[in-house]
Structure formats: C-alpha cells, structure tokens
Structure 1
C-alpha cells in the first residue's frame, strides 16, 4: 500500500453479529475512528471506501459509521476470514489506506 493517501493502523477484536449469515467485523478504536473522520471521504450513504491489509491479504471494502459507538465498522468477508484463519474473538492488526 505505497500509493498516495493516508494509512491508519490499529488492532481490534473480531466480533460476530447475530442474524442471517452471522457476519463478522471489527469496530475501529477511538483514535483510528478520529483519523477516518478527518481524512476519509464518505459516499452518499456515509460509507467510506478503503483498502485494508489484514495479514497477507489486501482487500477493497468500506467502513460503515456506527453512531452508537461513535466509530466505524469494518466488515470481514468470509473469504478473508478463511484465508487469514480469523475467528470470533481474535485480535487482528488492520492497516487501512484512505485515498485522499
């Protein structure tokens, strides 16, 4: 991820959400969420497109605002979780790349 832009690195615990599909994600810590608010560019729905590096994987995805936590949610697709052997409760390191 050496292209122009802003990188944000953080650790977070993987959470499994109840409901159809039982999808997984991480909430950004306070300091990382503050950087996203400052540097990120949201689309019409409030989502912020990002590239994320988790382990050896680089993925294009989006952050979704969570007003209750005053943070953002980074969803983790099943294919990523399987390739990186990520499960509920794991602490993972994420490097986000925001295009400026």
Structure 2
C-alpha cells in the first residue's frame, strides 16, 4: 500500500470467464484483497469504486467481492485490454486508487 493509505499495488494473472460476454478480469492476491476490504465504502452489491492504472492507461471501474475466493474481482474492459495489449494469461501490474 502507498504511504497515503489510498493506493494498492499488485501483480495478477488475467483470466477469462466462459460466461456470456467472455469477461476478462484479475483476482486480487490475498494481501491486496485484505487491504481492499478497508479501501472505501461499498455500494449495495459490495462493489468499491476505484481508479485503475495499468501500463499508461487509467480507467474508473469497480472491485467486486468474490466470497468463494475471499477476494475481489477487477474486471478488465475491452478498451483497456486493447490499449495495453493484455491477453488471457498475462501477468499485469495493477495500481488501484480509491475513487473520491
């Protein structure tokens, strides 16, 4: 976590769900997920609004809780994947910042 307490940095592998739409995402590693639990106010679905920096691309998105893995899921939209040439199986560095 950064010195200001409002950022989380981690690296994770990109996965693709076989569900309709073929979502691409990363799961936060255990230490990052533990920090994210105290990261911000969740909405009614448990999602936490964040800004994500991957490579040189910054986007606003949300973390979604995953109770089965005791983690959070970070979806990766197609525009972000195209801009940063992200493929399934890629390990990517992620910098999360709490949305103000």
Report the TM-score, using the length of structure 2 for normalisation.
Answer: 0.92
Partner of 1:35: 35
Instruction: Please tell me whether the aligned partners of residues 52 and 94 of structure 1 are also in contact (alpha carbons under 8 angstroms).
Output: yes
* Structure 2 portions without partners, runs of 5+: none
Partner of 1:82: 82
RMSD: 1.4
Instruction: Please tell me whether the aligned partners of residues 5 and 99 of structure 1 are also in contact (alpha carbons under 8 angstroms).
Output: no
Query: Deviation digits for residues 59-99 of structure 1, max 9, x if unmatched?
Result: 00000000000000000001110110000000000000014
Instruction: Give matches, 1:44-83, under 5 Å.
Output: 44-83=44-83
Moved over 2 A (4+): none
Partner of 2:23: 23
Q: How many residues align?
A: 97
Report the TM-score, using the length of structure 1 for normalisation.
Answer: 0.92
Aligned mates of 1:86, 1:99 — CA distance in 2: 24
Instruction: Please tell me whether the aligned partners of residues 6 and 99 of structure 1 are also in contact (alpha carbons under 8 angstroms).
Output: no
